[in-house]
Amino acid sequence: MNLSNSEILLSIEDLHASVEDKKILYGVNLIVREGEIHAIMGPNGSGKSTLSKIIAGHPSYKVISGSIKFKGINILELEPEKRARIGIFLGFQYPVEIPGVSNLEFLRVSTNSRRNELGKSELDTFEFEELVTESLKIVEMDPAFLERSVNEGFSGGEKKRNEILQMALLDPLVAILDETDSGLDIDALRVVASGITKLSNPNSATILITHYQRLLNEVTPDFVHIMANGKIIKTGNKELAMDIEKSGYELINKRTKKKEVAK
Amino acid sequence: MNQTNTVEEIVSQPYKYGFVTDIETEKIPKGLNKEVIRLISNKKKEPEFLLNFRLRAYDQWLKMEEPDWSGLSYTKIDYQDLVYYAAPKKDIKKQSLDEVDPKLLDTFEKLGIPLSEQKRLTNVAVDAVFDSVSIATTYKEKLAEHGVIFCSISEAVSKYPELIEKYLGTVVPINDNFFAALNSAVFSDGSFVFIPKNVNCPMELSSYFRINSGDTGQFERTLIIAEEFSSVSYLEGCTAPMFDTNTLHAAVVELVALDQAAIKYSTVQNWYAGNEKGVGGIYNFVTKRGECRGRRSKISWSQVETGSAITWKYPSCILQGDESIGEFYSIALTNNLQKADTGTKMIHIGKNTKSKIVSKGISAGKSKNSYRGLVSISPNAVGSRNYSQCDSMLIGDEAAANTYPYIQSKQPQSNIEHEASTCRISEDQLFYLQSRGIDFEEAVSMIISGFCSDVFNELPMEFASEADKLLALKLEGSVG
Ligand SMILES: Nc1ncnc2c1ncn2[C@@H]1O[C@H](COP(=O)(O)OP(=O)(O)OP(=O)(O)O)[C@@H](O)[C@H]1O
Ligand SMILES: [Mg+2]
């Protein structure tokens, strides 16, 4: 698919970053345009979650050099909440439990913060319940989860659905889903995948971080990137993902290196 | 960004209730002796039995040592340097609100407790206590229709002396502890509640204590009696101006629940805590105790403690009646150099008595927050059960939290469970909320609210939102 004329939503240039004095990212480049679906794959520990947390603004991760722009604006100085409000969404690999905080109230406050930014009216409890009831259908989630504390005691799969529910409510422009497919049973995977498809639109983009082809069978990526040792070492289309599934990273890594040497 | 610092900043909102009302007060000279006690009793036109009660207590007090076992260090109080009686000069108790000094009404309105007919809270009757004196009680007539008595203890002494004589000092004996003895000798005013047999009190009752004078000791006395098959929910609130001296507050609260009666006593305490260097603030040394005297009676304490330089307070239940129930739900938030030593005692005497303790301590700055609890099961208390849960949350690296659960069981057929935990607000929790568009300040307050939710749920409906704003008391700096 050639979308190179559409607007660039996210552009990352030569990003180097560290956590606790340990360097993790070594020059990441990535351009994401409206309407695109990207997949980022790569071995454990290669820096995928780190990249996603840095985009969302996690305070522990330090950007050493490089830039991250959202719709042309440098976001590195923005607080995480501001990034969320302007339309950056991170679906967590490990959603956090917050004991005692009502999921419903959390979702409402969160939704209102985004609506506020968009100049939409705040929803009161009653209005919000209507909205959330619709969104629940997308992820086929039981309303009982609204009454519980945020993620507390949720099963792995339930937590992931709750992430997609948040994505539905926040209606982001760039959604980064970090291993949202991990730990899901077949049915849940289909629900989550169809949720992602339903929620994607021509003005937004999705970045799927995944280890498995099975999600990409349901949500077809326009680009597949392979990350290794803190860098995107290869970019291709959906065939690349299939290739990885067959041969593993080791082989691809070697091939890439050979090519580099050949150059 | 240094998150710990920022969390601390949020917890350190300035105290909003530090103003002083400029009003002429009548004070007796500093110092304590039998003459002073006679003078207080005389000013209040008390019956003989009460004067004797005071003098006996004073004799006991002289023999007692100020406690230091609570692990709190503080500048010792000079008891001869305190004023034991202060009251607004222009008459003490008015017949109607129109006659109350408008300055006083303004004061309470500023504190969020409007007393006038038009503005007063619906469904909550309020007894407003200014320094040592009760200045107004709302909804008295409506309560009287149900036979409920809600008035200042001074008024009760003159109108219902037989009830006072029958119950005063029966739950907290005059020689119970140093501060209780002192209170018994010099108590000035406080609230009195009487719920007759078979009556469920039709509205929330609330006392609001306001300390205004700087050098005056505050010795309120509260007595609540719930007769057979009755029930009541009572809330106590408190604030004080900012003085750079320490003010002593040594209250005594006694609750009596007869057969199948239920008393719910909630406190939102926001006395001035002193400044960030630990100068000034209230010393809050309070004895609160309830006796489940009757079968299947129930007493439930819930408290939200955010103020005071030093808090020393253990609302307790004596579970005398068979199958009676005692509960204690507590949130204590300390900051700067505040020290709180709080907890409860559950004394199981009757058979099949049950108690439940849920304590949440939040400590920030260099504060020290201790839970101290005693669960005692006497040989007779067959089939008794206790469940205790004590959770602490630390903010920053310099705050301290301690838990001291004492268990004395002389009854093998009883069941005691204790759980304790300590946590910090994790960066990941904050980031998760922030990444959903929730700003840092709100995220902190959400997590703290969540941490306290088990206790919030126990506060009376009317105060649920106020309680959430409690954190509020410190987090957003606003109170409803
Ligand atoms: N807070 C942290 N402190 C120390 N090291 C960290 C921290 N966060 C990440 N790392 C390290 O950074 C490297 C990259 O981690 P990251 O979570 O980004 O990998 P990933 O590609 O998402 O892996 P996976 O596929 O297993 O999820 C790992 O070596 C990890 O241990
Ligand atoms: Mg990861």
How far from the centroid of its chain's Cα atoms is residue B6's Cα?
A: 30
Cβ contact B437–A92 (<8 Å): no
Q: Which of A39, A117, A37 is nearest to A82 (CA)?
A: A117
Instruction: Parse chain A into domains and list their residue ranges.
Output: 8-262
Q: How many angstroms separate the alpha carbon of residue A25 from the centre of ligand 2?
A: 13
Classify burial at B404, counting beta carbons within 10 Å of its beta carbon; exposed 0-12, middle 13-18, buried 19 or more. Answer: middle
Q: Distance between CA A105 and CA B433 in Å, rounded?
A: 12
Indicate which of B4, B393, B434 best probes the interface with A, i.e. most A CBs within 10 Å of its own CB: B434
Ligand nearest the Cα of residue A41 is: 1
Q: With a cut of 50, say whether residue B3 has pLDDT above it.
A: no
Cβ contact B439–A99 (<8 Å): no
Residues B153 and B32 in one domain: yes
Better-scored residue on pLDDT, B460 or A22: A22
**Secondary structure of A122-166 in the HEC alphabet?**
CCCHHHHHHHHHHHHHHHCCCCHHHHCEECCCCCHHHHHHHHHHH
Say if residues B370 and B405 touch (Cβ distance below 8 Å).
Answer: no
Residues B196 and B57 in one domain: yes
Q: How confident is the model at residue B1 (pLDDT cuts 50, 70, 90)?
A: very low
Q: With a cut of 80, say whether residue B446 has pLDDT above it.
A: yes
Number of H helices, E strands in chain A: 9, 12
Residues B295 and B434 in one domain: no
Position B377 in a domain: no
Q: Distance between CA B359 and CA B372 in Å, rounded?
A: 10
Q: Which amino acid is at B287?
A: T
Q: Strand A223-228 to strand A205-209: parallel, antiparallel, or no bridges (unpaired)?
A: unpaired
Position B392 in a domain: no
Q: How confident is the model at residue B199 (pLDDT cuts 50, 70, 90)?
A: very high
Domain that holds residue B129: 19-313
Q: How many angstroms separate the alpha carbon of residue A178 from the centre of ligand 1?
A: 12
Tell me if residue A36 falls in helix, strand or coil: coil
Which of B286, B313, B340 lies at the terminal end of a domain, its last residue? B313
Chain A: closest CA distance from residue B432 (Å): 7
Position B55 in a domain: yes
B328: region left, alpha or beta (phi > 0 left; psi from -120 to 50 alpha): beta
Q: What is the pLDDT at residue A250? A: 72
Q: What is the ipTM of this complex?
A: 0.94
Q: What is the pLDDT at residue B278? A: 60
Q: How many angstroms separate the alpha carbon of residue A14 from the centre of ligand 2?
A: 20
Q: Which protein residue has the closest C-alpha to ligand 1 atom 13?
A: A45
State whether the beta carbon of A19 lies less than 6 angstroms from ligand 1.
Answer: yes
Residues in chain A: 263
Contacts of B429 in chain A (CB under 8 A): 96, 98
Angle between helices A125-139 and A186-199 (to 10 degrees): 120
Q: Whole-structure pTM over 0.90, yes or no?
A: no
Q: What is the pLDDT at residue B291? A: 97
Residue A60 backbone phi and psi in degrees, to 5: -75, -20
Could you give the percent of chain B with pLDDT greater than 90? 40
Q: Which amino acid is at B13?
A: Q
Q: Distance between CA A173 and CA A90 in Å, rounded?
A: 11
Number of H helices, E strands in chain B: 11, 23
**Over residues A224-248, mean pLDDT:** 87
Q: With a cut of 50, say whether residue B299 has pLDDT above it.
A: yes
Q: With a cut of 50, say whether residue B478 has pLDDT above it.
A: no
- The verdict on A11 touching B (C-beta cutoff 8 Å) is no
Q: How many angstroms separate the alpha carbon of residue A18 from the centre of ligand 1?
A: 10
pLDDT tens per residue, range B7-35: 555 555 566 666 666 666 677 778 889 99
Q: What is the pLDDT at residue B84? A: 83
Q: What is the pLDDT at residue B480? A: 20
Cβ contact A166–B433 (<8 Å): no
Contacts of B449 in chain A (CB under 8 A): 100-101
Q: Distance between CA B402 and CA B424 in Å, rounded?
A: 14
Q: Distance between CA A171 and CA A157 in Å, rounded?
A: 21
Position B364 in a domain: no
**Over residues B282-308, mean pLDDT:** 88
Chain B: closest CA distance from residue A85 (Å): 5
- In order, the DSSP letters of A199-241 are H--TT-EEEEE-S-HHHHHHS--SEEEEEETTEEEEEE-HHHH
- Other CB atoms within 10 A of residue B367 CB: 27
- In order, the DSSP letters of B132-146 are TEEEEETTHHHHHHT
pLDDT tens per residue, range B367-422: 888 898 999 999 999 999 999 999 998 887 788 888 888 999 888 888 999 998 88
Cβ contact B450–A149 (<8 Å): yes
Q: What is the pLDDT at residue B322? A: 98
Q: Which of B344, B347, B415 is nearest to B382 (CA)?
A: B415
How distant, in Å, are the alpha carbons of A34, A219, A222, B327, B381 from that of B350?
Answer: 72, 66, 73, 15, 5
* Least confident stretch, B2-6, B147-151, B412-416: B2-6
Q: What is the pLDDT at residue B112? A: 67
Say how many domains are in chain B: 2
The CATH superfamily holding the domain A8-262 is P-loop containing nucleotide triphosphate hydrolases (3.40.50.300)
Q: How confident is the model at residue A258 (pLDDT cuts 50, 70, 90)?
A: low
Q: What rounded mean pLDDT belongs to chain B?
A: 82
Nearest to A110 among B1, B437, B447 (CB): B437
Q: How confident is the model at residue A151 (pLDDT cuts 50, 70, 90)?
A: very high
Cβ contact B451–A100 (<8 Å): yes
How distant, in Å, are the alpha carbons of A130, B52, B61, B437 from that of B47?
Answer: 64, 9, 22, 64
Cβ contact B3–A59 (<8 Å): yes
pLDDT tens per residue, range B314-327: 899 999 999 999 99
Q: What is the pLDDT at residue B16? A: 62
Q: With a cut of 80, say whether residue A253 has pLDDT above it.
A: no
Which of B313, B331, B359 lies at the terminal end of a domain, its last residue? B313
Position B49 in a domain: yes
Could you give the percent of chain A with pLDDT greater than 90? 75
Q: What is the pLDDT at residue B18? A: 60
CA distance between the termini of chain B? 32
Closest ligand 1 atom number to CA of residue A53: 18
Position B6 in a domain: no
Which of B283, B313, B343 lies at the terminal end of a domain, its last residue? B313
Q: What is the pLDDT at residue B411? A: 85
